[in-house]
Structure 1
Amino acid sequence: MNEALRRAMAQARVTDRQLADRCGVDVKTVGRWITQSGRVPHARHRWAICEAVGEDEAVLWPAAAKRAIKVGPDREVVAVYPYRSACPSTLWRSLITKAERQLAFAGYTNYFLWLEQARFGTALRRKAAQGCQVRFLLGHPESDLTRAREREEDVALTLSTRIRVTLAELEKIREQAGISAKYSDGHAYLSVFRFDDDMIVTPLLTHHVGHDAPTLHLRRHQDDGMFDRFAAHVEELWNRGTPVWGGERHDG
């Protein structure tokens, strides 16, 4: 029997049925995960289970975690998704919830976050009130670059409209200390989202919208690795950016 999983479920007061619903599997499958110690769920299910019971994968399935340990330069790569839309919304929510020091959303519009994350503004306000730094980098809705990208994308819901949705949502929480936003054009084709020592990176492809972008989930494990390099990129853009509130910039 997987005693670690059984104990974690009991402590979190999560039933077999609740865990099955969370993972999208039959309740009998959950039963086998518990009663057969050598039975290891698929990676996506392990992540959902860890989130549901509040325990680390290394505790619940130490052998699987050990096999997954990387020692090369790619050890900071946690997962790869061919499309941003394939990255589970539960992963985003978990990373946002667990962050304690900083949240940085350096997407050109950040529009999808308000759609996919329930009560996103409330979550941001709560994190900021707890001392977490919350920052947004956005493209300017009236810049030449934005208009050029709109011609490339050629979709009904324009880039400028998506930016303005984010601006409207941020306006509702701008009075909360710890939340700030700037305009930048240096991330037009590369979105970086930071959650303390975790990060989601999406390089945008020509003539594709954000949800079609290949996506990396990174976790910091070394100095000057992939994580630090993307983090430095965001910091440079932030230092060069123009505040959204108090002096707007027009590139056109």
Structure 2
Amino acid sequence: MNNPLARALRGAGVNEVDVAARLGVDPKTVQRWMSGRMPYPRHRNALARLTGWSQHDLWPDLPRPAQPEASADEVRIVYPHRSTVPTDAWSRLFAEAKAEIDILAYSALFLAEDIAASALLRNKATEGLRLRIALGMPGGVHVNDRGEEERIGDGMSARIRTALVGFRPIADAGGELRLHDTVLYNSIYRADDELLINTHVYGRPASHAPVFHLRRWAADGMAATYAHSFERVWGASCEPNRALLT
């Protein structure tokens, strides 16, 4: 089943029997939901909490506010760890982009190794979207510091080199690829006004740190702050030596 709820439950590692037991319903009822039937509001709330998906992601036909106010909450979903983000959330984020995609990280190796996500990024670049990827400078001061913090030494630089090779087809398709040497407080993944922000925690890998899904409502809100941060780093970054891409 390719229904959003079915995909979300698979990503959360639960089946209809598990869901039925948690929500106190019959497994056949869960099967009908997974086939497209709309659950009652109380069950929609429970399913959103269980999967970590927003209700509008699970049921795209739900009515939305006609005109969101500037004060609307920009935080859509909070994931306790990057590893709990549904595996297809990254592809869904980038697939929605109509104008630009920005990625700021030290390595973003998990994306470079994600065949579906990297192919989608390459296609977006081919279509002419502005696609910018800024990764850490291998051997840079702050990259080395991060490697020491995570107790992996040169492993951080090795990850970046591997990711650069993985992202090369995107650069060849028209995407922009740069390197930075900054203290990276967050990794930023942006598709137009939607952002996934992976916070960084001292001594822990990014996959173990929380992720915030933000939607930009206001010119001076949370999402705008992270977008401005990306621009600051991008402006101080440089193109990689071609040898790093081979």
Specify the TM-score bucket, using the shorter chain as the normaliser: 0.7 to 0.9
User: How many angstroms apart in 2 are the aligned matches of 1:167 and 1:38?
Assistant: 45
Amino acid at match of 1:195: A
1:40 match:
43
Deviation sequence 1:9-35 (CA, Å, 0-9, x none): xxxxxxxx5547533432621326727
Q: How many residues align?
A: 221
1:102 counterpart = 2:105: no
Partner of 1:31: 32
User: In structure 2, what is the Cα distance between the partners aligned to 1:194 and 1:201?
Assistant: 8
Indicate conservation of the 8 Å contact 1:197/1:220, yes or no: yes
- Call closer, same or farther: CA 1:110–1:235 in 2, change over 3 Å: same
- In 2: Cα distance, 1:112 partner to 1:205 partner: 18
Aligned match of 1:234: 230
CA–CA distance in 1 between the matches of 2:176 and 2:131?
A: 6
Three-state SS of the structure 2 residue aligned to 1:182 is strand
Identity %: 26
Corresponding residue of 2:212? 216
Gaps of 5+ in 2: 17-26
Partner Cα separation in structure 2 for residue 107 and residue 132 of structure 1: 20
Equivalent residues in 2 for 1:105-120, closer than 5 Å: 105-115=103-113, 117-120=114-117
Q: Does 2:130 align with 1:133? A: yes
Q: Is the 8 A contact 1:109 1:138 kept in 2?
A: yes
Contact 1:106/1:187 (8 A) holds in 2: no
Q: Is the 8 A contact 1:105 1:193 kept in 2?
A: yes
By how many angstroms is 1:106 displaced? 0.2
1:87 pairs with one of 85, 92, 108: 85
Residues in 1 aligned to 2:186 and 2:55: alpha-carbon distance in whole angstroms: 31
The 1:224–1:48 alpha-carbon spacing in structure 2 relative to 1, beyond 3 Å, is closer
* Partners of 1:46 and 1:146 in 2: CA distance: 31
User: Structure 1, residues 152-175: CA drift from partner, whole Å, max 9, x if none?
Assistant: 111388101110011111223422
Q: Is the 8 A contact 1:100 1:131 kept in 2?
A: no
Note if 1:143 corresponds to 2:140.
Answer: yes
Q: Residues 48 and 219 (structure 1 numbering): CA distance in 2 closer, same or farther, change over 3 Å?
A: closer
Offset at residue 73 of structure 1 (A): 5.4
- How far apart are residue 214 of structure 1 and its match? 1.5
Amino acid corresponding to residue 217 of structure 1 in structure 2: H
- For residues 228 and 236 of structure 2, the distance between their equivalents in structure 1, rounded to whole angstroms, comes to 12
Deviations 1:191-233 (A, max 9, x none): 1110111001122111011101121110011111011111011
More off after superposition, 150-159 vs 26-35: 26-35
Q: Against the structure 1 CA distance between its residues 47 and 225, is the aligned structure 2 distance closer, same or farther, given a 3 Å change threshold?
A: same
| Counterpart residue type for residue 76 of structure 1 | E
Letter in 2 for 1:191: S
Q: In structure 1, how many angstroms separate the alpha carbons of the residues matched to 2:38 and 2:109? A: 43
Paired position in structure 2 for 1:169: 166
Q: CA RMSD for the aligned pairs?
A: 3.1
Report what 1:6 is aligned to.
none
| Cα distance in 1, alignment partners of residues 38 and 199 from structure 2 | 42
Instruction: Tell me how far 1:87 sits from its aligned partner.
Output: 1.4
Q: Aligned in 2, Cα 1:155/1:79: closer, same or farther, shift over 3 Å?
A: same
Whether the 8 Å contact between 1:84 and 1:214 is mirrored in structure 2 is yes
Rounded to whole Å, the distance in 2 between the matches of 1:148 and 1:46 is 33
Tell me the amino acid that sits aligned with residue 146 of structure 2. Answer: R
Partner of 1:9: none
Q: 1:76 aligns with which of 74, 77, 80?
A: 74
User: Residues 214, 48 of structure 1: CA spacing in aligned structure 2 closer, same or farther, 3 A cutoff?
Assistant: closer
